Amino acid sequence: MPALTNSRQEIFTQNWFKGETKEQSAILAGYAPKWADSIGSRLSGNVKVLARYNELQAKVDKALVMDYEERQRILTEIGRGKMSDFVTVGADGATFDIGLESLNSRAVAQAGSRTFFNKDGDSGAVLTKVRLHNPINAIAELNKMDHVYEADRTLVEDNRVTNIFVIDNETKDLISKVKDRTCKLIEGGLTDAV
């Protein structure tokens, strides 16, 4: 649904949606403050205004939920993450650079550091711990999303027919007995066939 054709109703709906009171939304839309309370109540029950309000709410809800492609990107980032993405080696040793702009930063499950001091109170060493998410789990989730584990459900119909042509009655009787026994075997098991 596009924006409401009545611009004051659209402004009311937008402000109401943003969290303003109905009365304040009516005032911001240009209605007289004297009548804003009653106009706000009336507009909030208007079918078009409610439809527009619900549409705005649906857009927000949709934006809050990850879609298929976003979930794939996140799981791929976790699956590709490796410790070398976060380590910078320089002349004075290695440092960890973990931030939102880091390559595959969603792969980081936990990070922390601790500074150890020597006897004089000077910092002696910094211990940094970084734990990454398990990439195998991310790969398994991606496989589930792509239905890799599901069995192929192709139905095979076999409509083969065997025709036996006989030239005498004795052979015809023998074939009939074999047919009867076979049908009984298939239908009732071994005990019925004897």
- pLDDT tens digit string along 96-153? 777 767 777 788 888 888 888 887 877 677 777 888 889 899 888 888 888 887 776 6
Do 78 and 135 reside in the same domain of the chain?
A: yes
Q: Is residue 149 part of a domain?
A: no
Dihedral angle computed from the Cα positions of residues 40, 42, 44 and 50, in that order, rounded to the nearest 10 degrees = -140
Do 77 and 103 reside in the same domain of the chain?
A: yes
Count: domains in the chain? 3
Q: How far is the CA of 52 from the CAs of 5, 42, 63, 115, in angstroms?
A: 11, 15, 17, 56
Give me the half-sphere count of Cα atoms (radius 13 Å) on the Cβ side of residue 51: 7
Q: Are 144 and 150 in contact (CB under 8 A)?
A: no
Do 85 and 133 reside in the same domain of the chain?
A: yes
Q: Are 142 and 76 in contact (CB under 8 A)?
A: yes
Would you give the DSSP letter of residue 148? T
Higher per-residue confidence, 86 vs 17: 17
With a pLDDT cut of 90, the percent of the chain lying above it is: 21
Among 18-22, 144-148, 185-189, where is mean pLDDT lowest?
185-189
Do 103 and 44 reside in the same domain of the chain?
A: no
With a pLDDT cut of 70, the percent of the chain lying above it is: 87
Do 80 and 52 reside in the same domain of the chain?
A: no
Neighbours of 78 (CB within 10 A): 22
Cα end-to-end distance, the chain, whole Å: 75
Q: Is residue 21 part of a domain?
A: yes
pLDDT for position 11: 92
Q: Is residue 22 part of a domain?
A: yes
Q: Is residue 108 part of a domain?
A: yes
Q: Are 107 and 136 in contact (CB under 8 A)?
A: no
Average pLDDT of the residues in 5-16:
91
Do 83 and 59 reside in the same domain of the chain?
A: no
| Range of the structural domain that residue 169 is part of | 162-194
Last residue of one domain, picked from the residues 42, 64, 86: 64
Sorting pLDDT into bands at 50, 70 and 90, what band is 69? confident
Do 75 and 39 reside in the same domain of the chain?
A: no
Last residue of one domain, picked from the residues 35, 64, 93: 64
Do 134 and 117 reside in the same domain of the chain?
A: yes
Q: Are 128 and 135 in contact (CB under 8 A)?
A: no
pLDDT for position 166: 78
Q: Is residue 87 part of a domain?
A: yes
Do 51 and 31 reside in the same domain of the chain?
A: yes
Average pLDDT of the residues in 43-57:
91
Structure token digits, residue 1? 């649904």
Do 47 and 94 reside in the same domain of the chain?
A: no
Average pLDDT of the residues in 67-92:
81
* Positions of E strands within the chain: 87-90, 93-96, 108-117, 123-132
Average pLDDT of the residues in 172-187:
73
What pLDDT digit, counting tens, does each position of 145-162 carry?
888 877 766 777 777 777
Among 27-36, 61-70, 131-140, 181-190, where is mean pLDDT lowest?
181-190
pLDDT for position 194: 41
Do 48 and 31 reside in the same domain of the chain?
A: yes
Would you give the DSSP letter of residue 131? E
Q: Phi, psi (5° rounding) for residue 92?
A: -100, 15
Cα 134 from chain centroid (whole Å): 18
Would you give the DSSP letter of residue 146? T
Q: Is residue 30 part of a domain?
A: yes
